[in-house]
């Protein structure tokens, strides 16, 4: 199920903000939002944010209506296989516990860092 238009707007805002933070930290940044070069695919999936430089990060932003989808599972499993990158998952604070249980516990995806936003 695709994100609602409202959640897509929130998603894109969070992706842009995170890309900006990572750029400010001295990384080369690609992001799947306007204003950035689009990241290359990683095992057939486009990450929301990809960095090289001070840190190599694959960052995936999910909303309350997208963190538990099959598409997200496929993406995160692919990104988990990218051995020279840290996998970062960003979710609303309101679903953090459920997201961790599902993604790490059931899907067995190794997330290196969790970040949250209000929601």
Domain 5-117 has CATH 3.40.1350: yes
Task: In whole angstroms, give the CA distance from residue 56 to residue 64.
Answer: 26
Q: Are 116 and 93 a contacting pair, CB within 8 Å?
A: yes
- Domain ranges, ordered by start, for the chain: 5-117
Q: What is the pLDDT of residue 1?
A: 59
Strand ranges of the sheet holding 28-31, from the earlier edge strand across to the other edge: 28-31, 49-52, 57-61, 86-92, 113-117
Q: How far apart are CA 69 and CA 36, in angstroms?
A: 26
| Band of residue 2 on the pLDDT scale cut at 50, 70, 90 | confident
pLDDT in tens, 52-70: 988 899 999 999 999 999 9
Contacts (Cβ under 8 Å, ≥6 apart) of 9: none
| pLDDT of 119 over the 80 cut | no
């Amino acid at each position: 199920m695709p994100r609602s238009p409202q959640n897509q707007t929130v998603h894109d805002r969070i992706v842009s903000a995170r890309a900006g933070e990572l750029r400010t930290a001295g990384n080369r940044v690609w992001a799947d939002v306007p204003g950035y070069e689009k990241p290359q695919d990683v095992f057939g999936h486009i990450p929301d944010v990809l960095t090289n430089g001070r840190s190599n990060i694959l960052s995936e932003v999910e909303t309350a209506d997208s963190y538990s989808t099959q598409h997200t599972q496929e993406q995160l499993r692919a990104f988990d296989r990218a051995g020279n990158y840290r996998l970062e998952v960003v979710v609303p604070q309101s679903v953090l516990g459920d997201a961790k249980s599902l993604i790490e516990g059931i899907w067995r995806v190794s997330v290196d860092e969790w970040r949250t936003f209000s929601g």
